[in-house]
A and B are shown apart, each in its own frame.
Chain A
Amino acid sequence: MVVPFIQFVDVTKNFGTTHVLKGLNLSIFKGEIIAIIGKSGTGKSVLLKHIIGLVQQDSGQILINGEPLHQLSRKARKSFQKQLSYMFQDNALFDFMNIYDNIALPLKENSGFPKDQVKEKVFMRLQQLGLTGIQEKFPAQLSGGMRKRVALARALVTDPKMVLFDEPTTGLDPIRKKIVHSMIQEYQEKFGFTAVIVSHDIPEIFNVAQRIAMLDDGIIKFEGTKKDILDSHSKILNAFIRGENV
């Protein structure tokens, strides 16, 4: 049996009196693209933040390659988290830095790469994402679509083993959405990283992800492939896809 790369076991999370995750179970396998869908405010971003360590669960376990995350040594946990990268919903680019510095930051601060190697990596990502020539500009001088691509470049510059995408296409026009989705697919194939995408782009995301999980009322209500979705008789899933309230 294949051990999941990351496994949520009965994970709960409350913020004050709000119960966001109510015993969530989910497995994420190495090298796959999994999409998390669900209504706004159901805790999809919170789920991602548990993986990267920005939020800690109240109960339950998160297993990394079968080992509980909280039982890993500090060194092992740090080493695991260094394999991850996160693309924020609102990009979270640093306003006071130009585009070059934004993308180079994780390399400059952590990798110990010499300056010319950092430069080479940043320019390679800029070129791959069609951002050549904007390295001296600041985030505020770019369009929404360009800022998204810069955020994507920053997320990929460290060659992560897993990338967490929090609504990577929010605010983009259909053409840009398609480009971002293709980019994720293309880079995932090229670099082989595991991708977890929180998305509202239905049905487009079904063509990007190999598996889809639907989060509703704090638990995973559905998990399967595109075909499983199309064959599913789940009322909640079908209503959500059609944009109807159950």
Chain B
Amino acid sequence: MLIESIEKFGATILKLLESLGRVVLFFLRGVGNIFIPPFQFAKIIDHTWFIGTKSIFVIVLTGLFTGMVLGLQGYYSLIEFGSEAALGSAVALTLIRELGPVFTAIMVTARAGSAMAAEIGVMRISEQIDALKTMHINPVRFLFTPRIIAAIISFPLLTALFNVVGIFGGFVSGSLMLGINRHVYMDTVIRSIQMQDITGGFYKAVAFAVIATTICCYRGYYTHLSSGFGARGVSLSTTNAVVQSCIFVFVSDYIITFFLV
């Protein structure tokens, strides 16, 4: 009984490591192709439009309300210590260091990552990926490489947008609704932000772009191996892609923060 349980545990760990190895290889194949001409500028622009531009509305909306909630919660916590003047600083640092990169990654994964996994998954089950191979087109280069470049471009820009809108949201609830002096709010925002906060958030955004895009494209690409064929297979791999991307975003957030602080 005990040996059987250990065997099962061992098999699960091996399977996990194998799967992790495959994800890393998939990522390396995709990244290696970035440097092989001809460069896929048109496709990169297309995917940047899809991942970046089309996510702006969602990012503005979530950023605004996240900032407003932070302003509201922060105000009532800080006022107990008579430190409500530090609200701008609290909102800005929370957003730039943590919430901006993480929330942006989650929202973009939910919107664009799920679409990537589903689209590539459908291509897999309808033999479109095999068709690429028969045309001597490298499917990883064709499908994954432009997407990861587009994500590396889009995530930091969307994160910056989320931060700016979030700080404005904090201003709306803190200054316009609860009466903190607007000059004090803006002054604490500007004075508290250091360059390393911005670069730290930037590193996180790039790391999350790599993680989310790799997992979503990988899940779609290997739909047939992990989730099976058919519509159910695609829906399962899409769900797995989003859930696993979010988990890895949180885990890597902790690891990056650990090294940054």
Contacts and interface: CB of A to CB of B under 8 A. Distances in A.
A110 B130 CA distance: 16
Interface of B: 119, 122-123, 126-128, 130-131, 133-137, 142
Interface stretch (A56-64, A78-86, A173-181): A78-86
Contacts of B131: 86, 88, 92, 94
12 contacts: A54-B134, A78-B136, A84-B134, A85-B134, A86-B131, A90-B127, A92-B126, A93-B128, A95-B122, A105-B137, A109-B135, A109-B142
Contacts of B142: 109
A85 B130 CA distance: 12
Given A84-B134, A109-B136, 6 more contacts: A49-B130, A52-B133, A54-B130, A88-B127, A93-B128, A109-B135
10 nearest A-B pairs in the assembled complex, by CB-CB distance: A92-B131, A86-B134, A106-B135, A92-B127, A109-B137, A92-B128, A88-B127, A52-B134, A54-B130, A110-B136
A90 B126 contact: yes
Contacts of A84: 134
B38 to A, nearest CB: 9
A96 B126 CA distance: 13
Contacts of A158: 135
Nearest to B122: A95
A110 B134 contact: no
Interface residues of A, number: 23
A78 B122 CA distance: 27
A120 to B, nearest CB: 19
Contacts of A89: 127
Interface of A: 49, 52-54, 78, 81-82, 84-86, 88-90, 92-96, 105-106, 109-110, 158
A158 B135 CA distance: 9
Contacts of A85: 134
A117 to B, nearest CB: 16
A110 B126 contact: no
A158 B142 CA distance: 19
A49 B135 CA distance: 13
A92 B130 contact: yes
